[in-house]
Amino acid sequence: MSDLPGLPHLVVIPVFPGVNALDVSGPAEVLALAGRLLPRGRAGYEVRLRAERSGPVATFSGVPLCVDETFDGPRMRPDTVLVPGRVDLGPHGPTPCVDEAVVAWLREVGPHAGRIASVCAGAHVTAAAGLLDGHRATTHWATADRLADEYPAVTVDPDPIFIRSGRMWTSAGLTASMDLTLALVAEDHGDDLALELARIMVMYLQRPGGQSQFSVPLAHPVSGRQDLRSLRRWIGENLASDLSVPALAARLALSERHFARIFRTETGTTPGAFVEELRLEAARRLLERTDHPLPAVARACGLGSVETVHRVFRDRLRTTPGEYRRRFRVTGS
């Protein structure tokens, strides 16, 4: 395991014939790009593939993966094991593929790895190795009932896009692997790097569950005006400040009417709606990642009062802050 300063974070992906290529390539691309964006002197990620036999491994799409490390090769302690999956569509409905060679390798390596992250139906493989017992987990919606039936020691929730339970991470189907990997990068290197990755890859930022909300900076067009681009960044960094139309217009030395008009033209929304969306996103993150009481959340994100937080969550998410936290809290253990 790469605990020493300067050594890359070792990610091992066990693959098998017929594995979903996107389960492997999606996270690998995110991790590679993260390494390019890290400041000079900070180590990125080293991704290795392992399989029962070396050589080309055919994926579900037929595109082969080149594998030069086998399960019985040199023993190592990975920082992260990322378990991909595959779902077959047959006469009896979707069936997850559980490769016994991968299961055997996971039983040996999994207990010693820094963390285990399962992609899509990879949760069935991880569960077969006994690593998800006692944990909350998710998987592809079409196989969630089967996961719950076959592994009663696992608490299965089919709704979230990804779940963290201690050192065990699981994600929903296919493209959710990207959301999961963004969350892993955020844990390793902070939210700012994850946000930059999301922008470059034109992705949502760390969707915490089954919601359809965009990350606000990605939901509105990038303005052609440098002053508005700078203002939008400043708003995101000063959510507890006075962000009324008069205050924002004054920052740009514009009349309130002219400011409101050009803001809507450039972004497709009003200044008030934009500010509220950013404050809601900040409140969501605090509810997902901290135990701060609701009054503190209201102050930190600029919504002011608990009553306002409740109104915004009710109007925009059709839920309460308490219910949101209960469902989407990312817990460490």
The catalytic residue positions are 120
- CA distances 255 to 272, 324, 327, Å, are 16, 39, 43
Yes or no: say if 236 and 281 are a contact pair by the CB < 8 Å rule: no
The 3-state DSSP class for residue 137 equals strand
Distance CA(224)–CA(207), nearest Å, equals 27
Q: Which residues pair with 48 in a beta bridge?
A: 12
Strands 93-96 and 69-70: unpaired
The 3-state DSSP class for residue 163 equals strand
- CA distances 316 to 81, 283, 321, Å, are 37, 13, 11
DSSP 111: G
Q: Which amino acid is at 64?
A: P
Token pair in block for residue 139: 């998987």
Distance CA(118)–CA(139), nearest Å, equals 8
Residue 88 burial (CB count, 10 A):
13
Distance CA(202)–CA(199), nearest Å, equals 5
Distance CA(31)–CA(78), nearest Å, equals 15
Residues contacting 7, CB < 8 A, separation 6+ = 43
With b for 16 or more beta-carbon neighbours within 10 A and e for fewer, the 20-33 pattern comes to bbbbbbbbbebbeb
Token pair in block for residue 136: 């909350």
Token pair in block for residue 322: 């308490």
